[in-house]
Amino acid sequence: RFMSSFSNPQLGNIADRLKDGSLLKTQAHFNGKWIESVSSNDTFDVVDPATGLNIAILPSCGINETNQAIESAYNAQNEWSKRTGKERSIIIRKWYDLMVENKDDLATLLTIEAGKPLAEALGEIAYA
């Protein structure tokens, strides 16, 4: 769930600060799917450490979701291990290319969430 479409009067609409607003997610991710809510309906605030302002509300995953994530990761690893090294390298390269293509947006999100200076966030994205 977004705080008013991921906006805060003091911060503005964060998605508007991105070239690709679809990179901004406030759902849990399980088994290749973005999940809008979790079984407990509990949430937690994401706070901009530089300003102390809430920037998003995210689902708070509990033991059921943790077990689901572990099982999903186990199954994904089994499927991944069946791929050849070449197939895996193609997927990893595509992921890298997408990170480089979206480095400015990813760095902006990292800066807002973690309070890192933008130059440091860009370096972290490039190093990943």
Tens digits of per-residue pLDDT, 50-102? 788 888 888 888 888 889 889 999 999 999 999 999 999 999 999 999 999 99
Query: What residues contact 58, with CB distance under 8 A and at least 6 apart?
Result: 1, 26, 27, 28, 43, 44, 45, 46
Local confidence band at 8 (pLDDT 50, 70, 90 cut-offs): low
- DSSP run (H or E) holding 54: strand 54-59
What pLDDT score does 98 carry? 96
CA distance 119 to 128: 14
Would the pLDDT of 4 be above 70? no
pTM of the model: 0.76
pLDDT tens, residue by residue, 11-28: 557 778 899 988 888 888
47 CB neighbour count, 10 Å cutoff: 14
What pLDDT score does 31 carry? 84
